[in-house]
C-alpha cells in the first residue's frame, strides 16, 4: 500500500501531507511536518506527552489514525504559543511556577490544560486534576503543575476583565 495524501488544518493553516495507512497523528505532526513539540513518549496512550487538540478537544495523538483528522482542525503546542516571541499566560505560569523541569511532558500538559481553560475559565483543583489525568510528569511532581494551571486561569480572567 502506498502512502496517501491527507489534508487537514494544522495551527490555522491547511496542510497536505503523505501518510502511511494507520500512521498516527503524532508521527505525522512530529516526523513528517517537523513540529517537534508533540512528543512520542510511550506510543500507547499512557503518558500524555503527545496530547494535541482536535477540533478543540484534547486527544492522545499517538492513538489517532491520521485518516481521522482529514478535513478537521488540529492545534499543537506550537499553535498555542504566541508568535510575538512571548509566552502565553499558561506557559508563563508554568515557567514562573517551576512547573517544568526536563520539559518532555510540558507540551502535552499545556495542550490539555489549555483545552480545559477554553471550556472552563475557572476550574476547581479537582477539575484540573481530572483534565490532566492522562498526563504524566516524572520530574517536578504534579503539584506545581496544578498550581500553574490555577495561576494561569486567574491571570487569564484578569486579562479578560481588563479587556472588557
To the nearest whole angstrom, how small is the minimum distance from the Cβ of residue 33 to another protein? Answer: 17
Other residues' Cβ atoms within 10 Å of the Cβ of residue 156: 18
To the nearest whole angstrom, how small is the minimum distance from the Cβ of residue 9 to another protein? Answer: 18
**Contact at 8 Å (CB) between 54 and 42?**
no
Other residues' Cβ atoms within 10 Å of the Cβ of residue 76: 25
Total number of residues binding another protein (CB under 8 A)? 30
Residue 142 interacts with another protein (CB under 8 A): yes or no? no
The residue from 77, 112, 137, 146 that contacts another protein (CB under 8 A) is 112
CA–CA distance, 52 with 15 (Å, rounded to integer): 16
**Contact at 8 Å (CB) between 77 and 38?**
yes
**Contact at 8 Å (CB) between 74 and 160?**
no
The residue from 7, 18, 56, 57 that contacts another protein (CB under 8 A) is 57
Residue 51 interacts with another protein (CB under 8 A): yes or no? yes
Q: Which residues bind another protein (CB under 8 A)?
A: 1, 20-22, 24, 27, 43-46, 48, 51, 57-60, 62-65, 67-68, 112, 130-136
Amino acid at each position: 500500500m502506498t502512502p496517501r495524501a491527507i489534508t487537514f488544518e494544522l495551527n490555522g493553516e491547511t496542510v497536505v501531507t503523505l501518510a502511511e495507512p494507520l500512521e498516527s497523528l503524532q508521527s505525522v505532526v512530529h516526523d513528517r511536518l517537523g513540529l517537534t513539540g508533540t512528543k512520542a513518549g510511550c506510543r500507547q496512550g499512557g503518558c500524555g506527552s503527545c496530547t494535541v487538540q482536535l477540533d478543540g478537544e484534547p486527544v492522545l495523538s499517538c492513538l489517532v489514525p491520521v485518516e481521522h483528522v482529514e478535513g478537521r482542525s488540529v492545534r499543537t503546542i506550537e499553535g498555542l504559543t504566541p508568535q510575538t516571541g512571548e509566552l502565553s499566560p499558561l506557559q508563563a505560569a508554568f515557567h514562573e511556577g517551576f512547573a517544568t523541569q526536563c520539559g518532555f511532558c510540558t507540551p502535552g500538559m499545556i495542550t490539555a490544560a489549555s483545552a480545559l481553560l477554553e471550556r472552563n475559565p475557572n476550574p476547581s483543583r479537582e477539575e484540573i486534576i481530572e483534565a490532566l489525568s492522562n498526563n504524566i510528569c516524572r520530574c517536578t511532581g504534579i503539584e506545581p503543575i496544578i498550581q500553574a494551571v490555577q495561576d494561569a486561569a486567574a491571570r487569564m480572567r484578569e486579562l479578560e476583565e481588563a479587556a472588557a
